[in-house]
Amino acid sequence: MEEREYLEYIEERQLVADYMKRLYDRNLTTASGGNISMRIDDEKFCITPSGLDKGNLSADVIAIVGFDGTNLTPLLKLSIETEMHRAILLARPDINAVVHAHPVYASSFATAMPCQINTTLNAETYYVLGDVANVPYRLMGTTELAQIVAEHIKDHNALLMENHGAVAVGTELLTAFDRIELLERAALMTLITQNIKESRGLSAEQIAEIKEMRGY
């Protein structure tokens, strides 16, 4: 990639940087943790870099990667989870954004399988998230993790990676961000309602109604 090309896709890269800061400001990740990617077109996507403060990124440090795995911004160090983002975007051509983070409550639930987060405690949460899947543990940054996440994401919009963190996807960054935020709130609600007598989630009939609204 020539020097002038670093100036390309500034709008898309700035959007990714802005949402990464938003993720950090909402305490959904740490300064060194988490990553966000967004599809640019059929040939490439952009992704947050490795080794930089996630709460203070700018467009020029957001990397651009080809769907063949080529780093089109070779002066930028790619995120350790770039292969996972690439695999997700390839597995789900209907989505354009991926958010991976380590929110405290949701990540706590990622230590247990099967998933114990109850997304049916709130109708909006279930409508936006649906059911959350568990992904069995694989070492972070590996091809094995990328492959198993891509397989699970085919029929889910939010995942918990065992002893790791969470992933949410969407047709746009706002949708993916909303899902990771709702996942964290659902985890917190699950913990809180465990101590509320007679607390209950949606009935099977109510869940079916929401699934119908979602087009299932």
Domain 3-213 classification at class level: alpha beta
| Mean predicted confidence (pLDDT) in 57-81 | 95
- State how far the Cα of 32 lies from the Cα of 79, in Å rounded to an integer: 10
Tell me the C-alpha to C-alpha distance, in Å, between residue 93 and each of 79, 128, 172, 214.
21, 19, 12, 19
Comparing CA positions, the residue from 9, 18, 20 lying closest to residue 44 is: 9
To which H or E segment does residue 57 belong? none
73-123 pLDDT per residue, tens: 999 999 999 999 999 999 999 999 999 999 999 999 999 988 899 999 999
Domain boundaries, the chain: 3-213
- State how far the Cα of 35 lies from the Cα of 58, in Å rounded to an integer: 14
Q: Tell how strand 158-161 and strand 165-170 pair up.
A: antiparallel
pLDDT of residue 4: 45
